[in-house]
Amino acid sequence: MKMTEDKMQEALKAYEHYLIREERSQGTIEKYLRDVKRFLGWSAAQEPEQEMKQTMRQEVEEYAPKITKEKAAGWKQTLMEQGYKPVTINSMIASINSFFRFMGWDDCRVRFLRVQKRSFRRKDRELTREDYEKLLAAAKAEGRNQLALLMEAICSTGIRVSEVKYLTVEAARAGRAEIALKGKIRVILLPKKLCRKLLKYAGKQKIRQGEIFLGRSGRSLSRKQIWAEMKRLCRSAGVEPSRVFPHNLRHLFARTYYRVCRDLSRLADLLGHSSMDTTRIYLTTTEEEQSRDLERLQLIT
């Protein structure tokens, strides 16, 4: 398939509108578009030089790459050679396959890499309770009260970053938030102490209704803003940046809840997971924890 540059831009814009209609999250939309544009750029660079020169001499059409299954497979191979992790590569393949499906180019889709499920999580990517408390202390010491409260809100409820907008004055008063995302609606209960803190903060900010966590412009805080604010805390908090992501607060909630309640089904409902298999991923132990368990078996004489 070959398209002019203008036609490709139109296709990308139409694809973006399609993802919006499919109610994909803003983060997912940005990632899919970023991956597709990266593939298209790489694909263009693979065109034979002679063909590129011939095409660029044409007055009617601008140069645009040919999109083929071989190109897509070649990009996958290139990512492998560049040392990308299989999970990352598969996420990029999901992006371009989605675009191909939208364009009606099903014959261009490529297979995912087969990855054996990891039975333990990496300790260097895990946010611990101690890390969390250090981040809170650093935020409060620096007077970044909104960020401290935001981290507490995510970690004490297990909500996604994209669901922060549902923490409203009305929700804090009712002690519950109704979240509508990915075609599903679920209700989460808010801890009483969190509600008091949310209402107190809203009062100081003179927010009488609607969303509580707003940026300086008065708009909702974006995923990028929250991510950047948390990263800035790392040095003063003494926490490794590799462990600090908004989503890790959700993981910490899941591990803490399960340790206390031991109810996987209820935890899946709280997190908004359709499958408990997804929830189980949140609860995998670290390599060190599994090693300790193996030593306790005492099967070596």
pLDDT digits over 43-100, tens only? 888 765 445 444 443 433 344 457 889 999 999 999 999 999 888 999 999 999 999 9
Q: What is the 3-state secondary structure (H, E, C) of the chain?
A: CECCHHHHHHHHHHHHHHHHHCCCCHHHHHHHHHHHHHHHHHHHHCCCHHHHHHHHCCCCCCCCCECCHHHHHHHHHHHHHCCCCHHHHHHHHHHHHHHHHHHCCHHHCCCCCCCCCCCCECHHHCCCHHHHHHHHHHHHHCCCHHHHHHHHHHHHHCCCHHHHHHCEHHHHHHCEEEEEECCEEEEEECCHHHHHHHHHHHHHCCCCCCECCECCCCCECCHHHHHHHHHHHHHHHCCCHHHCCHHHHHHHHHHHHHHHHCCHHHHHHHHCCCCHHHHHHHCCCEHHHHHHHHHHHCCCC
**pTM of the complete model beyond 0.75:** no
Most trustworthy range by pLDDT among 3-7, 167-171, 290-294: 167-171
From residue 64, how far is each of 27, 42, 79, 156, 268 by CA, in Å?
28, 11, 22, 50, 46
For the stretch 104-114, pLDDT in tens is 999 999 999 98
pLDDT score for 161: 92
pLDDT score for 288: 67
**Is residue 209 within 8 Å of residue 169, measured between CB atoms?**
yes
Please name which of 192, 151, 185 lies closest in space to residue 171, comparing C-alpha atoms.
192
Ramachandran region of residue 182, left (φ > 0), alpha (ψ -120 to 50) or beta? Answer: left
Mean per-residue pLDDT of the chain = 86
What percent of the chain has pLDDT above 90? 62
